Structures are given as C-alpha cells and as structure tokens.
Structure 1
Amino acid sequence: MQNRILLVEDDEELRSLLSRYLGGQGFTVREAANGNDGLALAQDELADLVVLDIMLPDIGGLDVLRKLRARTRLPVILLTARGEETDRIVGFEVGADDYIPKPCNPRELVARIQATLRRVAWDREGQPDHGRRIGDLRIEPDQRRVYQNDRPVELTATEYEILRVLLSRAGSVVRKTDLMQWALGRRLTPHDRALDMHVSNLRRKLDPEGANRIETLRGLGYSYRSPE
C-alpha cells in the first residue's frame, strides 16, 4: 500500500513541485494551502505523515502541530526557514518528528519521510504484552522501557531515544547529525560532545564488559549490532 502524505504549504509553486516529486516516488499526496485545511485533512486520518510548513497565512504551522498533538501521534515533518533555529527547537518541543529547512531538496525530503516512517513502523511493531525483541533486548515502546535478558535497564529519556533510533536502523549507520536531531531534538554543532557522552553512558549500561554493540564509525556516525 502506498504511504499517504499530507503536504501543507501555502507557496503554490513549491507545493506543486514537491507534490509531483513525491507522487513520482510512489507516495499518494494530498495538498492543503493553509493551516485550517491541513488540520481538517489530518484529523480525517487520511494521511500517514504530514509535511507542514511553519509559515502559513491563517494559523501558524506550530499551532497546527499543537492541535494535532492534542489528538494524534501522526508523524509530522516541519518545513522551516533556513536559519530559524528557534522554530526548530519549539517544533521538537511541541512534538515534531523531524524538520527540513527551506528551500528543500525534494530528494532529501523523501529520505527524511522514509526514515520517519521506518521509525514509526518500528515502534508500532512491538506488542504491549511482549514488546519488541532484538537479540537480548526487549523494548516496550508504550512504556518506554528496555529489558536486557528480561532485567530492566535504567535509561534516561535521552538514552532511550538514542537506543530507539539505533535499533530502528540496526546494522545500518546513523549519522551523528541525524541522531542528534532525532534523539536530542537539536542540531549538532562543532565541539558539542553531548551526544558522545550519552552514547558512552548507554554503552556502559548495556555492555558493562565492553562488548561494544554500539559501534562508532569515525567521520560517519553510529551503528547498532546485536552481540554474538
């Protein structure tokens, strides 16, 4: 089944360009030119993901996102003006799943849509009673808890988010810039060691004997591999 994308963008030329490109990539696209129409279509549950511009002519994209989050966990990618870091931070605080600055590369937008849909699908695969198992780990997304060999692992909220992202792409490399954005909700900046610190703490909790299931690929990012 094709994934359904709701594109909420008031710039007619950009909306048309992105809609054509997404359609050519196999998505079913519905369009809205303002926040109220976008909100109505999103609440009709006729989309699997929303691409939402922050600057809209009637109600702002962040207000649309707030209203959506009061009713649904439908994944949302924000379109933000380049350089508007405050909007991105507030967007993550309100509940955005990702963002992409404008003018955006349609190919990058498709990649971010696919990555977001993979993460959402991974979370939904776990069953409330049994969770999702990967090797010696059991993840219960509804409870946001992790068990190793059926023993609880005490993780901070940030450590849980980092692990969730890495597990959703187990065996693949997750770029540090993406992991920082998806797990910590902010952009990676030079000399920022916060992500490295959290990964180090996560390794220590999961592998006290140094099995190093979270591999560092220098200059690229991190990759999760289940221990033998």
Structure 2
Amino acid sequence: MADSLKRVLVVDDEASITEFVTYALRKEGYAPDESANGEEALALARRNNYDLFILDVMLPNMDGFELCRRLRSISSAPILFLSARDTELDKVVGLEIGGDDYLTKPFGVRELIARIHALLRRGNGVEGSGTNNAISVSGITLDEDSHTATGESGSLDLTPREFELLASLMKQAGKVVSREDLLRDAWGWEFLTETKTVDTHIKRLRDKIGKAGYDPTLVETVRGYGYRFRVI
C-alpha cells in the first residue's frame, strides 16, 4: 500500500475517468483530489502541496499542456499525462514542457498504478536502501537513495526527470553522453526519436543549477554528440 500522506491531483473533465482514477488511487492508499478544469486545478495546486499531478490533455479553456507549463512554475512534483491523443508528437510535447510520463487512453488500472508508483519512487526516493549510494562531482553531491542533489551552495529542486538526467551525466562525469542515451536513462522509452526533448530538459536543469548557486556550464554541450558534466 502507498503512503496515505501522498496527495494526488487528478484533472480531467470526463467524470467517468476521474471516478475511475480516484477510486484506484484511494484503493492504493493515496489521497486524491479532483478538478475538471485548469483554472481550478491551479488554485488547488497553490493551496495544497501535491506529490503528483495527473492531467488530461484535452481540458476546457486551458488544455493540459498549458496547465503543465503553469504548474511547473510553482511545483516540481511529477506530472503524468492521461490522454486519448496518442501520436508521438503529442508525447514529445508533453515531455518537453515538463511532463514526466504520458499514458494513452484507454488504459488499464494496473499500468496506471505502476506508472504512479514509479514516478513517486523517483520523486521521493521511497525505495532507498539506506546505503551510501552517492556521487560527488564538482561541488554537487547526488544521492540516489534519498533522490537529493546538494552542495555548499544549497540543494537543487529537481523534477524526477531532471534528477535522472543529472544522475546519468554525473555517473559519467568527464565523458560525453549522447541524447539517445540520456533519453533511455531518464525516461526508459526507446520509441521516442525526438531528442529535442532532452535539450529542453537540459536547459531547465542548467537553470536550476544556476539558481542554486552553482555554475550552469557544469552541464556542457558537445555539438553533434550530446552533453558532458564537467569535472572541476
């Protein structure tokens, strides 16, 4: 059973989908709230500290992609898209704007819950073994057990995907890591061919590194190849 304190906001204008998802969440021990539109969802997100957002793409007035962009300005919690739009382009857009996973309708409850568990494990380190599974490079210490990135300048507030990208780069510090390898390491999705997704998330990662007081050029672009985490 999941930690009962884990709060999830489900945003979908189809009542049957909302009821199905919230029932599955409650059965797993989560505490779901629900909303049928983006404006109400934003208001709820500003009032409450959610551990996960589940968004439909086709919402009235404000679509799920725009809602995702706005949520990213106030929260680093994982975002899972649920949508009947199943093209690769839709999935890529969802990831580029800050989403962490994308599940197409119709979907089974087991797959839904498995995706949710995976996102919350990555976001909160609930599977940590308690061992010292940490990497320290260039003033940043990344701990995969607690899913934290810290240093003398402070901690980095990273989404699960940003954390996975940083982990992949730091584990191979000084070496060039291709966009394709970063896609596989951070998302585990072999079918995505649009590597621009990585570029978008790397830009956000650099911004957060800089805001936390570190040198954003620690993540270096190697033209034509990929990215490298510099050792200084």
TM bin, normalised by shorter chain, reads 0.5 to 0.7
Q: Deviations over 1:119-140 (max 9, x none)?
A: 22249x8697432279xxxx88
Of 132, 144, 147, 2:143 maps to 132
- How much has 1:12 moved relative to structure 2? 0.9
The 5 A counterparts of 1:11-22 are 11-22=14-25
Match of 1:92 in 2: 95
Of 177, 181, 185, 1:155 maps to 177
Q: Deviations over 1:82-139 (max 9, x none)?
A: 434332221111111001111221221111111111222249x8697432279xxxx8
Match of 2:58 in 1: 55
- How much has 1:75 moved relative to structure 2? 0.9
Q: Secondary structure of the residue that 1:89 maps to in structure 2?
A: helix
Q: Secondary structure of the residue that 1:120 maps to in structure 2?
A: helix
Of 104, 108, 115, 1:105 maps to 108
Q: Secondary structure of the residue that 1:55 maps to in structure 2?
A: coil
Match of 2:76 in 1: 73
Q: Secondary structure of the residue that 2:60 maps to in structure 1?
A: coil
Q: Secondary structure of the residue that 2:32 maps to in structure 1?
A: strand
Match of 1:116 in 2: 119
C-alpha change, 1:161 and 1:39, in structure 2 (3 Å) is same
Letter in 2 for 1:154: V
Of 33, 40, 43, 2:43 maps to 40
Q: Secondary structure of the residue that 2:77 maps to in structure 1?
A: coil
Structure 2: runs of 5 or more not aligned = 129-133, 151-162, 199-224, 226-232
User: Is 1:146 equivalent to 2:149 in the alignment?
Assistant: no
C-alpha change, 1:111 and 1:35, in structure 2 (3 Å) is same
2: distance between equivalents of 1:117 and 1:146?
A: 22
1: distance between equivalents of 2:77 and 2:124?
A: 12
Structure 1: runs of 5 or more not aligned = 166-175, 187-200, 202-228
How many aligned residue pairs are there?
Answer: 170
**Structure of higher CA gyration radius:** 1
Match of 2:153 in 1: none
C-alpha change, 1:117 and 1:143, in structure 2 (3 Å) is closer
2: distance between equivalents of 1:98 and 1:38?
A: 19
Q: Secondary structure of the residue that 2:50 maps to in structure 1?
A: coil
Q: Secondary structure of the residue that 1:6 maps to in structure 2?
A: strand
1: distance between equivalents of 2:99 and 2:83?
A: 12
C-alpha change, 1:143 and 1:65, in structure 2 (3 Å) is closer
2: distance between equivalents of 1:161 and 1:79?
A: 20
Q: Secondary structure of the residue that 1:83 maps to in structure 2?
A: coil
Q: Secondary structure of the residue that 2:141 maps to in structure 1?
A: coil
C-alpha change, 1:179 and 1:114, in structure 2 (3 Å) is farther
Instruction: State the Cα RMSD in Å.
Output: 3.6
